[in-house]
Amino acid sequence: MSSTHKPSQNNKSTKAGENSSGMTRRAFLGRSAMTAAATAGATTVSLAVISPKAEAGWWDVFEPAVPHTPVSIAPYYTAITVGTGYGSSVTALRLGEAGIDTLMIEMGQLWDQLASDGKVHCNMINADARSMWFKDRTEAPVSNILGLPLVDRNIDRYPGVLDTLSYDNMKVYLGRGVGGGSLVNGGMAVVPKRAFFEEILPDVGADDMYDRWYPLAQSMLHVNSVTDEVYESDYYQFSRMAETCAHKAGFQTSDVPNVYDFDYMAEEIAGNVEPSATANEVIYGNNHGKQSLDKNYIPQAIGTGNVTLRTMTRVASITQGANGVYTLQLETINVAGDIVERLSVQCRYLFLGAGTMGTTELLMRARETGALPALSDEIGQGWGNNGNFMVSIANPLWKLTGAKQSGMPVRGIDNWDDPEAQVFAEIAPFPAGIETYTSLFLAITNNPERGYMTYDATADNVRLHWGPDQSQPSFDAAKKVFDRYNKANYCHYRRGLFEGNQPYADFFTYHPLGGCLLGKATDLYGRLKGYDNLYTVDGSLIPGNVGVNPFLTITALAERNIHKILREDF
Ligand code: FAE
């Protein structure tokens, strides 16, 4: 077992300044302010879909909430962060603490209002309008049952929480809303193996990262590990069974830390609180238990009194005036997605945290349209899918996964140290409500292939170029691991779950990385080459693959970079 995959276990205690839910006083005040700032627009609207929820009668008309009315903003801020994912949230908090007036701009909504079923988010089994960002149909990664497309369903268009961007040979999953990917992700918060970190980012001091910035990120995000009590419950039979099989095949497994509060999960299992992870909630948001960014960094940032949050507002373009001030053109949308306001805002310091795809698109548009022509040619290069590769395995009838499955993975097969098959395969749930005799794995492989992006002037967006064979290294490595796993356990590959009817999925990623690489398109702290006071703070800095799930590294790097920038650039 790798020590770097093992989290510190000491983060359960309540720290000074925190209340019993782990929220600091400043975060609590910020969270109240975050909600109060916009409640004037809080109401619900009928989308005339029948509620699938038990809380409402089947005859009730389901009404998702109308997004909060965006707050008014000033014409100028010292600093602006684009997006509200990990990179932006860290940056906004540290800017706010330093007394710098800062605006956060987010194209999605603040997810804190109850729909007519009494919930903020919908679950994966009964997905509704809240699930997807302006789509007519859900797009679950596991879309089929026995080869039939029975999982996805038609939905009304709405500014939902999960988005997909489709390119040739690759579909990218993203979170939309205040908190970005933290709203939809599986919460797995894993420190990469140090040797691999040093290989991919050799010029970023590993001592500093491992001694200071990763521990800070773990503490801020409330990373914890599954307790024995929870792991021994019915909800993790799927994981215990796969771990036993992995050991039988001679593999090591390791703990996968998470930001889901496992004490809360214990209470769910005991029936004392409203269930979330044990009630099929994850990719369309968790109503409880998960420490997403809207529970920690963002309310703390707003609690400084120096940070303003503008939602439902997309940054369309960026220019710079002769005085060095940046001007952002903004588009605010309504619940139907119509642009209801176009406005501009200026700043001296601009931090791009719109995620790998969003930041790269804004920068490529700026470079290619001549708005910021001195930006590096490196922008758009070095894109990777973090070697994401899903595998489905059919188990023999005597190896049961259980009908009850928690949505949060907590263990992985760690074969990273095998140079022939560098794979970290997380044991993923398949919560279908019945015994499926199926095990699912999200494998992170060491795929050295890289894609690139180009700007399409006619469509005014970017295209990702990822060839049909570029996932082959992932396939080869995963096959070595799972051939051995199957042979030792009377298992075989299960078709019929993924689009294309393969027993694996290499056509989508949850972990887009790169496009604006640290040390190439930027200096070693995210300062973009060619312009002063312009920074990248998100996953686009990371060169395509980090060997584990990426958000802890994005958070730690953002902490490291803003620490330096605040001392040297302001
Ligand atoms: P991100 O979180 O993507 O935030 C970017 C934000 O910017 C979003 O809120 C956008 O709506 C917003 N935005 C984009 N463009 C604009 C614009 N033009 N104007 C205004 N706002 C804009 O950025 N990672 C893990 O480490 N562990 C996991 O368990 C895990 N599971 C995942 C499961 C799913 C289903 C998905 C989709 C992702 C998962 N990830 C996981 C990936 C992780 O969430 C992702 O790497 C981070 O969220 C990326 O953080 P960034 O700060 O780069």
pLDDT tens track for 333-350: 999 999 999 999 999 999
pLDDT for the residue 144? 86
Judged against a pLDDT cut of 50, whether residue 103 lies above it is answered with yes
Return the ligand 1 atom nearest residue 315 CA.
Answer: 19
Instruction: Please tell me whether residue 363 adopts helix, strand or coil conformation.
Output: helix
Cα(61) to centroid of ligand 1, in Å? Answer: 32
Nearest CA to ligand 1 atom 12: 83
**CB distance 390 to 440 below 8 Å:** yes
Cα(84) to centroid of ligand 1, in Å? Answer: 9
Nearest CA to ligand 1 atom 23: 355
Of the candidates 183, 158, 162, 177, which has an alpha carbon nearest to the alpha carbon of residue 63? 158
Predicted TM-score of the model (pTM): 0.93
To test ligand 1's pocket by mutation, which of 511, 517, 541, 561 has the most ligand atoms within 8 angstroms of CB?
Answer: 511
Local confidence band at 26 (pLDDT 50, 70, 90 cut-offs): low
Of the candidates 229, 284, 245, which has an alpha carbon nearest to the alpha carbon of residue 115? 284
pLDDT for the residue 27? 57
Residue type, 382: G
Any idea what the Cα angle at residue 174 is, between residues 170 and 180, rounded to 5°? 160
Nearest CA to ligand 1 atom 18: 315
Instruction: Please name the residues in contact with 113: beta carbons below 8 A apart, sequence gap of 6 or more.
Output: 42, 65, 66, 67, 68, 120
To test ligand 1's pocket by mutation, which of 107, 280, 411 has the most ligand atoms within 8 angstroms of CB?
Answer: 107
Cα(384) to centroid of ligand 1, in Å? Answer: 15
Higher pLDDT, 12 or 166: 166
Return the ligand 1 atom nearest residue 553 CA.
Answer: 26
How far is it, in rounded angstroms, from Cα 542 to Cα 545?
7
How far is it, in rounded angstroms, from Cα 72 to Cα 52?
36
Cα(466) to centroid of ligand 1, in Å? Answer: 20
Return the ligand 1 atom nearest residue 188 CA.
Answer: 29
The torsion defined by the Cα of 111, 116, 119 and 125, in degrees rounded to 10, comes to: -110
Classify strands 326-333 and 170-175 as parallel, antiparallel or unpaired.
Answer: unpaired
- Give residue ranges with CB within 6 A of ligand 1: 82-87, 105-108, 173-176, 180-182, 184-188, 283, 314-315, 353-356, 358, 362, 510-511, 538-539, 549-551, 554
Return the ligand 1 atom nearest residue 181 CA.
Answer: 48
Nearest CA to ligand 1 atom 32: 185
The torsion defined by the Cα of 24, 106, 185 and 268, in degrees rounded to 10, comes to: 50
Neighbour count for residue 373 (Cβ, 10 Å): 10
Q: What pLDDT digit, counting tens, does each position of 187-240 carry? A: 999 999 999 999 999 999 999 999 999 999 999 999 999 999 999 999 999 999
Cα(173) to centroid of ligand 1, in Å? Answer: 8
Phi, psi (rounded to 5 degrees) for 50? -75, 130
pLDDT for the residue 550? 98
Structure tokens at 86: 């990990």
Cα(437) to centroid of ligand 1, in Å? Answer: 32
To test ligand 1's pocket by mutation, which of 80, 138, 174, 290 has the most ligand atoms within 8 angstroms of CB?
Answer: 174
How far is it, in rounded angstroms, from Cα 427 to Cα 446?
18
Which stretches does DSSP call E strand in 176-222?
Answer: none
The catalytic site residues sit at 426, 511
**CB distance 538 to 353 below 8 Å:** yes
Q: What pLDDT digit, counting tens, does each position of 394-419 carry? A: 999 999 999 999 999 999 999 999 99
To test ligand 1's pocket by mutation, which of 86, 359, 427, 557 has the most ligand atoms within 8 angstroms of CB?
Answer: 86
Nearest CA to ligand 1 atom 8: 180
Structure tokens at 87: 């990179």
Cα(355) to centroid of ligand 1, in Å? Answer: 6
Burial letters 375-399, b for 16+ CB under 10 A, else e:
bbebbbbbbbbbbbbbbbbbbeeeb
Nearest CA to ligand 1 atom 33: 185
Local confidence band at 43 (pLDDT 50, 70, 90 cut-offs): very low
DSSP assignment letter at 279: G
Cα(507) to centroid of ligand 1, in Å? Answer: 18
Judged against a pLDDT cut of 80, whether residue 60 lies above it is answered with no
Could you tell me how many residues make up the chain? Answer: 570
Alpha carbon 247 to its chain centroid, in Å, reads: 30
Look-up of token digits 């395969």: 425
Return the ligand 1 atom nearest residue 88 CA.
Answer: 52
How far is it, in rounded angstroms, from Cα 45 to Cα 65?
6
Judged against a pLDDT cut of 60, whether residue 21 lies above it is answered with no
- Average pLDDT for 352-359: 98
Can you give the C-alpha Rg of the chain in angstroms?
A: 22
pLDDT for the residue 431? 85
